[in-house]
Amino acid sequence: MKYQLEITKAARQDLQESYDWYDAKLTGLGEDFIFAVEANRIHTKLN
């Protein structure tokens, strides 16, 4: 069974806030966060 993940507007806003928070702690950490989210999204979609 394949899943489709819908990212709502509120979730996108949360992702942006999280990205900003991580990147404020250490430049580039926000990118790592988004990469991890995307990797998990792909993993979920494939399973």
Please report, in tens digits, the pLDDT of each residue of the chain (47 residues total). 666 788 999 999 999 999 999 999 999 999 999 999 999 988 887 77
Range of the structural domain that residue 41 is part of: 9-46
pLDDT at 18: 98
Q: How many domains does the chain have?
A: 1
pLDDT at 4: 76
Domain for residue 1, yes or no?
A: no
Domain for residue 3, yes or no?
A: no
C-alpha pair distances (Å), 28 with each of 19, 36, 40:
9, 13, 19
pLDDT at 35: 98
Domain for residue 37, yes or no?
A: yes
CA distance 18 to 43: 21
One-letter amino acid of 3: Y
23's enclosing H/E stretch is helix 9-25
